[in-house]
Structure 1
Amino acid sequence: MPPLPSPPLLNATLRAVARRYRLPASAAELSGQQAASPATTLALAIEHSRAAMASGETPAAALKDRFIDALAHLIREALRTDAGDPVFQAMVMRHRATHVREYASLSAGADPDRRQVYMAVNAIAHPGRQQRLAPGPQREALARLHASTSASSWSALHDTVRGLLDMPEIASEAPGLARLLDSPALKRLQRLEALEADDLVRQYRELWDRHGPRSGSATASAQGAAARQRGAATEAQAAQALEALAQRLNEAERAQASYRVVTSMRVPASIPATHERAKTEWDAVLLRQLPASDAAPAWEICLLAEAKASVDAATTDLPKLLRGLHLLAHADKDVVYAFETQQGTVRLHGASLSALRTDEASQAGLAGLVLYCCDAPAEARPRLLSAASRMQLLSAQASLEFASDLWEGQPAEAAILAPVWHGLLESPRWRSVLNQYPALWQVRELMVHPDDLLAAIHQAGA
């Protein structure tokens, strides 16, 4: 079946909805409106450079100077002890000190190391196994071994294992104990434990703690639960707005078509394209169905809505969303696909999915197909440098070297930041930073507040 044109009422609604997060298509319009913070100056310099290159021109030397000077100021701001960036300061500390780098590397792999050690100990001294032993030295020894692991004191565990190897009562466990004693995982955990006593490592951990609670802590769990609750609330708002739109469309078209909304729509593995790094679950989807004689008629997608807590979250999500559309467009036009949703299984026409052209989706066509729903307040002065771009700029090797010189009180020349400028213009690794303003503009074009969407639905249906 050929794809159907979008319903007029849907088009009218999308045209009418207020876009409170919108930015000008050209960053040049913002040059005189935004406060000249280092981050804003950087964002504008990057965008002017991108625009020059898109026109076949070489960015002017003045743009390079402006970029390097703004990056130097951004680094100085981030290093301030009173109101700086603890994450960046931790990165600089890691860059400067070999043993802090070692600690950071060991910390990154600590969870699988702990699991490996726990498994090795449980193979020897699981509480269930202890209960099957008669009271006596062997049972007591295995209890001590398990208790040492539970306390997460790796040096104490090492000493306990060495002591147990000398006990004839548990000679049968000697091979397993020897393997545990020589385990690279246990050695790494012991080294990590030893490094935690170092002053610089303690400062490094304090900086990360200022950024947010440690992974696995009660505070982190509480914050995670609160974030999930807010995400669920935003998703519910988006779904409610689409439900109102479906109701209006059903009232307007009656016999011509029927509309419904599904949530948490999962893309089936049977669609013949890579699912890697693509969006495979859509928050809320408006579907349309024509009258048919089939016992189980199929539907087609009219509108996809994704709920996001912030502009930054949506900007980070956009590449994944585009890959998700690319995945859907690989559907076989002669196949009807079963998608699982919160409302049960829905059958979608492959022809309507294959019509989701990704070349159009990456440009104007996306505006009639996708919405980012966000309930965050619109900023009086939108941040033009995305969080991801800012962090990539700060974590560049030249930026860290410049920051290290400042940290140590040495003369620091902004000219050493020139490699960041050249990388921005020449390296594919910097493509997302160079194109960050068009991506930010596109995301904000697609972003609506659920209240504004409901108002536009009522206005269009009046």
Structure 2
Amino acid sequence: MPAAPLLAAILRSTARRYRLPPLDTPTDEQDAHDTRPTRSAPPATVLAIAIEHARRALARNEAPGPHLERTWVAALAALIREALRDDTVFQAMLLRHRDVRVREYASLSAHAEQDRRSIYANVNAIAHPARLARIADTAQREALAQVQASASAMAWPALHAAARALFALPDLAHESELQRGLARLVDNPALPRLQRLNTLATHAAVQQYEALWDRQGPRPGSADAMAQGSASQQRGAAVEALAAQALSALAARLDAAEGERGRYRVVTSMRVPAAIPASAERAKSEWDAVLLRRADTSDTSDTSDTHRAGEAAGVWDVCLLVEAKASIDAATTDFPRLLRGLRLLAHARAHETYAFDTRQGAVRLNGAALHALSTGEAAVRDTVLYCSDAAAVRDTVLYCSDAAAETAPRLLGAASRMQLLSAPASLAFASAIAEGRTPDTALLHDVWRDLLASPRWATVRDQYPMLDRVRGLMVHADDLAAAAAETMPEA
């Protein structure tokens, strides 16, 4: 359904402090001679701007100019050198690229937890402490206890030896079940993999690799990681509360303007029901805060007060979907999932109502309003907001001579940056530097050519317009509340 005029006016007037500054299209003269981006901006910023200029050129069916390619290659070389100094993730990735033992260790480590669970299951099947307590034979009990102790200590060679030693016990011939259990343990391919992992862990390169990972923060599952997760959850909950508060102020303003209390309401943690006939795979299935308007459900030919019928039925239309994010980067990462969530909602049948669970209880939503949702740029701008309380950078015009002195928005996303750094040519370039050789920047031109032509690089090519779109949807909670209080209805 069309947005109320006042709501549309409020959304238009809400300050967009996170919006990207304008990106000027360079003139031919600049393309040929301008080197200011290389001097004044970080390499990641230069890369992002050059990629966007290249994307725009391709959209015009034009080939990006040679200066743009040279600027981009120089920036990628600078980014690689920067990562070699400061980025432990890249340093670990490069070490894995250069050392076959580190590659093998990383490959085995990826499945080590699953392998350990498999071995523990085999061990507990024959040597669980409760089972040991029931074994009368002292030699067998002690041998099985050694199996259990070796597994608990993750002493895999000792475990293998202890299991093999059990086969020598004279009474084992009468224990067919135990024999089968021992065979499963000894023949489990996970055991030699874990033994190999322990052996590799003694090599200096592997220890350096582990040290680099340790510098990246707490390991998953550790107490520090859980503490960080708890703090992040608390931070997210605080931002959600601010967003809901700002949205409630907006609802109150709309109620006052329409002269009817309760015409608008806000619900939080709105979960999409399975009744909507579409797949929810990888789609947003819970919305942080939603502005609802009581639906007009009566026959439009009826001259009675139409919205009273909606009130009696307790059916609501979706007016505005709000996602609370503690950071701009989180919103950018979330956006593809949000679009899939909108497509999911739009699969609602127009003539049905759907029950959505929220923190305020179940609400019935009008299928027609859901079905009308769209992922088109203008439609999303009218129905979706990202709400935050993050500090915004000062708007600066990129390429200005004082840009280096300003805190600029991060234009190259983390995923795009890592894809550039992990390209084979980038790793070869970095390897040459790490080995004390003079790297050949000609290698990096291969990355540029792939970037322009390969479907694998489409996400990187399109990342600037995606970032621009997300930042345009993002508002500060205070700005939304202020616009709700100050915006006057349009004449």
TM-score when normalising by structure 2: 0.86
Asked if residue 368 in structure 1 is aligned to residue 378 in structure 2, the reply is no
Contact 1:24–1:441 (8 Å) recurs in 2: no
Equivalent position SS for 1:282: strand
Letter in 1 for 2:389: D
**1:15 aligned residue:** 12
Asked if residue 182 in structure 1 is aligned to residue 164 in structure 2, the reply is no
2:419 to 392, 400, 413: 392
Summarize the alignment of residues 341-352 of structure 1 with structure 2, pairs less than 5 Å apart. 341-352=358-369
CA RMSD of aligned residues (A): 2.3
2:476 to 446, 449, 452: 449
Residues 222, 160 of structure 1: alpha-carbon distance in 2 compared, 3 angstrom cutoff: farther
Equivalent position SS for 1:211: coil
**Deviations 1:176-222 (CA, angstroms, capped at 9, x unpaired):** 11111111222222211211111001111111111222222222222
Shift of 1:112: 1.7
The runs of at least 4 aligned residues of structure 1 exceeding 6 Å deviation read: 31-34
Equivalent position SS for 1:89: helix
> Once structures 1 and 2 are overlaid, which stretch shifts more, 11-20 or 432-441?
11-20
Residues 307, 134 of structure 1: alpha-carbon distance in 2 compared, 3 angstrom cutoff: farther
1:216 to 204, 218, 221: 221
**1:124 aligned residue:** 126
The alignment of Structure 1 onto Structure 2 pairs a total of residues equal to: 452
Shift of 1:292: 4.4
Letter in 2 for 1:15: R
Shift of 1:446: 0.8
**2:98 aligned residue:** 96
**How far apart are the structure 2 equivalents of 1:124 and 1:252?**
74
> Once structures 1 and 2 are overlaid, which stretch shifts more, 386-395 or 131-140?
131-140
Contact 1:284–1:304 (8 Å) recurs in 2: yes
Summarize the alignment of residues 79-158 of structure 1 with structure 2, pairs less than 5 Å apart. 79-80=84-85, 84-133=86-135, 136-158=138-160
Letter in 1 for 2:70: D
> Once structures 1 and 2 are overlaid, which stretch shifts more, 145-154 or 47-56?
145-154
**1:325 aligned residue:** 342
Letter in 2 for 1:50: R
> Once structures 1 and 2 are overlaid, which stretch shifts more, 223-232 or 147-156?
147-156
**How far apart are the structure 1 equivalents of 2:131 and 2:264?**
60
1:26 to 19, 23, 28: 23
**2:433 aligned residue:** 406
**2:402 aligned residue:** none
Contact 1:260–1:286 (8 Å) recurs in 2: yes
Letter in 2 for 1:203: Q
**How far apart are the structure 2 equivalents of 1:340 and 1:369?**
20
**2:31 aligned residue:** none
**Deviations 1:328-359 (CA, angstroms, capped at 9, x unpaired):** 1111112222222222222212211110122x
**How far apart are the structure 1 equivalents of 2:148 and 2:252?**
61
Letter in 2 for 1:16: S
Shift of 1:131: 4.4
Residues 104, 390 of structure 1: alpha-carbon distance in 2 compared, 3 angstrom cutoff: same
**How far apart are the structure 1 equivalents of 2:354 and 2:17?**
36
Letter in 2 for 1:154: W
Equivalent position SS for 1:341: coil
Shift of 1:109: 1.4
Residues 451, 43 of structure 1: alpha-carbon distance in 2 compared, 3 angstrom cutoff: same
**2:392 aligned residue:** 378
**1:40 aligned residue:** 45
Letter in 2 for 1:311: I
**How far apart are the structure 2 equivalents of 1:76 and 1:381?**
21
**How far apart are the structure 2 equivalents of 1:139 and 1:250?**
77
Equivalent position SS for 2:215: helix
**How far apart are the structure 2 equivalents of 1:317 and 1:411?**
40
**2:264 aligned residue:** 259
The structure number with the bigger radius of gyration is: 2
Residues 403, 133 of structure 1: alpha-carbon distance in 2 compared, 3 angstrom cutoff: same
**How far apart are the structure 2 equivalents of 1:155 and 1:452?**
63
Unaligned runs of 5+ in 2: 27-33, 296-306, 394-406
Contact 2:268–2:359 (8 Å) recurs in 1: yes
**Deviations 1:261-310 (CA, angstroms, capped at 9, x unpaired):** 22222222232222222111211111111334476432221111112222
**Deviations 1:148-182 (CA, angstroms, capped at 9, x unpaired):** 22223323322222223333456341211111111
Contact 1:137–1:169 (8 Å) recurs in 2: no
Residues 244, 159 of structure 1: alpha-carbon distance in 2 compared, 3 angstrom cutoff: farther
Letter in 2 for 1:98: V
Shift of 1:27: 5.0
Asked if residue 312 in structure 1 is aligned to residue 317 in structure 2, the reply is no
Residues 457, 141 of structure 1: alpha-carbon distance in 2 compared, 3 angstrom cutoff: farther
Residues 127, 301 of structure 1: alpha-carbon distance in 2 compared, 3 angstrom cutoff: farther
Percent sequence identity over aligned pairs: 59
Letter in 2 for 1:436: Q
Contact 1:265–1:282 (8 Å) recurs in 2: yes
**How far apart are the structure 1 equivalents of 2:249 and 2:171?**
73
**2:3 aligned residue:** 6
**How far apart are the structure 1 equivalents of 2:80 and 2:230?**
33
Contact 2:140–2:166 (8 Å) recurs in 1: no
Residues 293, 409 of structure 1: alpha-carbon distance in 2 compared, 3 angstrom cutoff: same
Contact 1:285–1:304 (8 Å) recurs in 2: yes
Residues 289, 197 of structure 1: alpha-carbon distance in 2 compared, 3 angstrom cutoff: same
Contact 1:248–1:461 (8 Å) recurs in 2: no
**How far apart are the structure 1 equivalents of 2:107 and 2:366?**
48
Summarize the alignment of residues 46-85 of structure 1 with structure 2, pairs less than 5 Å apart. 46-80=51-85, 84-85=86-87
Equivalent position SS for 2:8: helix
Shift of 1:257: 6.6
Residues 128, 288 of structure 1: alpha-carbon distance in 2 compared, 3 angstrom cutoff: farther
Contact 1:25–1:441 (8 Å) recurs in 2: no
Letter in 2 for 1:124: I
Equivalent position SS for 1:265: strand
Contact 2:269–2:359 (8 Å) recurs in 1: yes
